[in-house]
A and B are shown apart, each in its own frame.
Chain A
Amino acid sequence: MALAKKLGVATKAGEITSRSPRQIAWMRFKRNKVGMVAAWVSIIILMLSLFAPLVCKVLGINPDELNLDLIDSSGIPTLPNGGISLEHPLGLTPGIGRDLLANLLYGSRISFTVAILTTSMTLFIGLIVGIVGGYFRGRIDDYLGRFTDFLLAFPAFFMIVALSDPMVARIQDIGLAQGNSARIVFLIFFLSFFGWPGFSRLVRSQVLSLRERDFVTAAQAMGASRRRIIFKELMPNLWAPVIVVVSLSLPGYLAAEAVFSFLGIGIQAPATTWGILLDNSRRFVTVYPNFFLIVAGSLVLVVLAFNLVGDALRDALDPRSER
């Protein structure tokens, strides 16, 4: 009863309530303390990134302001600990003396944009291909399966590195986007292009088993249209793997964006992303290790938080897992 009230289910006294799988999963998730903490951390970081201009204004920091009076001639902050002070909570970036926290916040926006858009594209393509292959089977499935295997045989990371400069030039050539936007478009497009096959395999295997289930047969017997079966019967049962994949691929693509910027083939300065900050940090690391530790630590914290949420979701959504 108390439980029903908690879940907001209207019940009369003595009535036995049933819980939907969604409610059960949510209950299990709430019981996982680590997962809850990680979820809050993830939400807070996302919010900070989304409202970066506001946060920076409140804290009185400016990402573009050069604090040249606070760094010495070799570009090292003069104050101890890399210039950490009330005005600059995480210190200054070496070289030009920008506020590090403000740059981390603004930098995360590009990183998150790439990660979120790539994940959505991967999901979109993977869902369509997986459902079409799994539901219609036969020849279509054969061709799609071959193509998926073919893409999986590509050294994706290698291809993205190799194609980066030529492809960015092409994107600029056809006028789709210029400069860093072209690089963002390139990253999103190619990360998703090589990212969907894995996900579509997962969806396909799920659909293959779902389509043989009684409720699908029942829907077919009632004369439901293909569209209805796909959208109303199959899709709702796919959300568990979808959620897990989202929570695990977001941090993956976040790190991927960072690594491409780091290798000098992703987004370029003067824009700021975490990859660019990390690349800068390695030049100053012998004299100013804090910079590296703060930037690397932030990246690891975000990836860790998202991974923990993903694990907690997987545990909560898997009916066979214990607890």
Chain B
Amino acid sequence: MPRFILRRAYFATLTILLVSIVVYGVFSLLPFDPAALTCGQKCTPAIVEANRVKLGFDKPLWEQYWLFLSGIFLGRTYGAGSAEFTCPAPSFGYSFNENTCVTDMLKEALPVTINLAIGAFVIWMVVGVGLGLIAAKFRGRYPDTLSSVFVLLGTSLPTFVTGLFFLIYVTIKWKIVPLSLSGYVSVFDDPVRYFQYFILPWLTLAILYAAFYTRFTRATVLETLGEDYIRTARAKGLSEKTVLLKHTMRAALAPITTSASLDIAGLIGGAIITESIFNLAGLGRMTLQSVYEFDLSVVVATTILAATVVISMNLIVDIAYGYLDPRVRVK
């Protein structure tokens, strides 16, 4: 098992490195002069050149990438002499639009997105797997019919339509959940406000996937219930609860886990939509804003970060899978 984990971790690190090279390369090869974007209205060629040297855009591409990469671990110092300033490790670059180190911006945005993603993930898994299990257990009867209506609606509602509906009706018109203007609060400081802030974004992000997972779980559970060992378990006189929750669920969880690991990438994309609808100050909205403003150092940082999250989650799921299904460990 440790060898399995090590090998997976090695490949994951390699992939992250490769992704960062590709992302950095793509954004550096774009037809822009990054230095020209750094100065505003009162721009002179001298300022552009000074900024170019200050931010290291005068160096060859591979060296720029190396500075970027080493900055993540060692921090990075820009400029020289009296104008010198340092972004301490981990440094993801410097944003000229905001005049801060990108890391400081990330520090503010990241908790919002993480809270959003985790909450949505929990809701989608609990609702999806739970409903799927119920639908399979009461196959063909009315809980099954109800859940299939949910699946149908859920898979046909694009995230932003659900989000707008929640925002417009639940918050503005019906005033069920108050409009939260105060911004992000930690769950430990004010749990009520925290839930008011996140509940609709969570639901928005979770519904589509919850519907997919209901259908998926139902199908997998029904398939597993047809296996011989389930008949054996029943013949042994085990209770229906044990058969369903222990024997069936364990086998059914493996494919569900795999597909969950792939869908986390979608969750991060969905965060952009959700954050922009509900105006949450998270990573997605920050990226969108930076795209509008051509603040490329921020975009590079968030994209690499998002890829890292996806790959790490895949790694964790892979390892979890190893525990769930011993066969994948041998290889």
Residues of A in contact with B (beta carbons under 8 Å apart): 150, 152-159, 161-167, 169-170, 173, 251, 255, 258-259, 262-265, 278, 281-282, 285-286, 289, 292, 296, 299-300, 303-304, 307-308
Contact = CB atoms under 8 A, between A and B. Distances in A.
B156 A303 contact: yes
Given A158-B306, A166-B296, A263-B272, A304 B27 contact: no
A159 B157 CA distance: 23
Contacts of B18: 150
B269 A170 contact: no
A67 B164 CA distance: 27
A243 B187 CA distance: 47
14 contacts: A153-B310, A155-B310, A156-B269, A162-B287, A162-B291, A165-B291, A255-B158, A259-B160, A282-B168, A296-B161, A303-B157, A307-B152, A307-B156, A308-B152
**What DSSP secondary structure best describes chain B's contact surface?**
helix
A170 B268 contact: no
Interface in B131-187: 152-153, 155-161, 164-165, 167-168, 172-173
B314 to A, nearest CB: 7
Contact of B276 (A158, A263, A289, A299): A263
A162 B302 contact: yes
Contacts of A251: 156
Given A153-B15, A155-B268, A157-B272, A259 B291 contact: no
Contact of A159 (B161, B165, B173, B303): B303
Contacts of A303: 156-158
Nearest to A265: B291
A162 B164 contact: no
**What DSSP secondary structure best describes chain A's contact surface?**
helix
Nearest to A160: B269
B287 A153 contact: no
Nearest to B276: A263
B303 A158 contact: yes
A300 B32 contact: no
Interface in B18-76: 18-19, 23, 26-27, 30-32
Given A286-B168, A300-B157, 20 more contacts: A152-B262, A153-B15, A153-B314, A154-B310, A155-B268, A155-B309, A157-B266, A158-B284, A159-B23, A161-B269, A161-B272, A161-B288, A161-B291, A173-B31, A265-B291, A278-B161, A282-B168, A286-B173, A292-B168, A296-B164
A274 to B, nearest CB: 10
Contacts of A296: 161, 164-165
B273 interface: yes
A273 to B, nearest CB: 13
Contacts of A162: 287, 291, 299, 302-303
Contact of B30 (A156, A169, A289): A169
A152 B313 CA distance: 13
A264 B292 contact: yes
A173 B31 CA distance: 8
Given A166-B30, A169-B31, A263-B273, A155 B303 contact: yes
Nearest to B298: A162
B4 interface: no
Contacts of A153: 15, 19, 265, 307, 310-311, 314
Nearest to A163: B26
Contacts of A289: 168, 173
B294 interface: yes
B168 A157 contact: no
A158 B291 contact: no
A166 B156 contact: no
A162 B269 CA distance: 11
B270 interface: yes
